Amino acid sequence: MEKLVIAGKEFGSRLFLGSGKFSSNQVMEEAIKASGTEMVTLAMKRIELDDKEDDMLKHIAHPNIQLLPNTSGVRDADEAVFAAQMAREAFGTNWLKLEIHPDPRYLLPDSVETLKATEKLVKLGFVVLPYCQADPVLCRQLEEAGAATVMPLAAPIGTNKGLETKEFIRIIIEQAGVPVVVDAGIGAPSHAAEAMEMGASACLVNTAISVAGNPVEMAKAFKLAVEAGRMAYESGLGAVTSGNLVASASSPLTAFLND
């Protein structure tokens, strides 16, 4: 399998994991290990002053894992820039999953603010991985603004609906000059495999693993699915049998070339 390269850094795994919604940090850590991932997202929260809870960071910090702090909770570009600076300071990485969703219900990304924030953050030296609509024009604009990847959504976050935006993701993959990471909505390993077969560079999965009956086994299942899908893509999928290719004795359209 070809290595994935983002902003000059190589990744052996094409599965990115979200760290939300696990029943415990222990289960999360085991799922991360089982998935073979090398990129894990995390959020930020305000500390409680009498806080004695388990520090989640130590469960995901590992030399092979790139931390990918997100900006979840921000509502516009200015808040995103602030959150990004806090994340860089707290976690010592300039990598950032930019997500701006002012809509609290479906958590759909705000395209206008996401583009603005990408422009600003790139200038501030961040490696920006924007979560975005499956909008091919927006993805080109994000790329022009210096985004390290684009991360179009497959379906609304947490819905497990799969590739609802398939045709747009196909166009994005066809056009992109940066890796395309399919983010949000992937609910089953088959969805991830399908995205990878189409040529997606990676998949970001969270809910489908964290709320599975057995998150650790599910993490393994996604690892295999992403690898299988990528391998199939790199091997070149076979032809779908089609009526178009039935040989015909007559050649009504091209007969003029035989004269």
Partner 1 sequence: MFSEELEKIDWDETTRKIMSKTDADVRRALTKSHCDVEDFMAMLSPAAEPYLEQMAQLSKKYTEERFGNTMSMFIPLYITNSCSNSCVYCGFHVSNPMPRVILTPEQIENEYKAIKEIAPFENILLVTGENPAKAGVPYLAKALDIAKKYFSNLKIEVMPLAAEEYAELREHGLNGVICFQETYHKANYNIYHPRGMKSKFEWRVNGFDRMGQAGVHSIGMGVLIGLEKEWRTDITMMAYHLRYLQKKYWRTKYSVNFPRMRPAQNEGFHPNCYMTDKQLAQATFAMRIFDHDVDISYSTREPAFIRNNMAMLGVTTMSAESRVNPGGYHTYPQALEQFTVSDNRKVGDIIASLKAVGREPVWKDWDASFDHKAS
Partner 2 sequence: MKITVNNKETEFDGTSVSDLAAQLQLPEKGVAVAVNNEMIPRSEWSATPLAENANVVIIKAACGG
Q: Does 89 bind partner 2 (CB under 8 A)?
A: yes
Q: Check: CB of residue 169 under 8 Å from CB of residue 182.
A: yes
Question: Of the two residues 49 and 253, which places its CB atom closer to partner 1 in the complex?
Answer: 253
Which partner in partner 2, partner 1, none is near 251 (CB below 5 to 8 A by kind)? Answer: partner 1
Q: Does 235 bind partner 1 (CB under 8 A)?
A: no
Burial class (CB in 10 A: 0-12, 13-18, 19+), 251: exposed
Alpha-helical segments (H) within 101-214: 111-123, 136-144, 166-175, 189-197, 207-210
203 bridge partner residues: 15, 182
Q: Does 240 bind partner 1 (CB under 8 A)?
A: yes
* Contacting partner 1 within 134-153 (CB under 8 A): 140
Q: Check: CB of residue 108 under 8 Å from CB of residue 139.
A: no
Cβ neighbours of 214 (radius 10 Å): 12
Contact code string over 99-138 relative to partner 1, x by CB under 8 A:
----------------------------------------
Q: Which of 8, 46, 125, 177 binds partner 2 (CB under 8 A)?
A: 46
Active-site annotation, residues: 97
Residues that bind partner 2 (CB under 8 A): 18-22, 25, 28, 41-49, 55-57, 69-70, 72, 82, 85-87, 89-92, 157, 204, 206-207
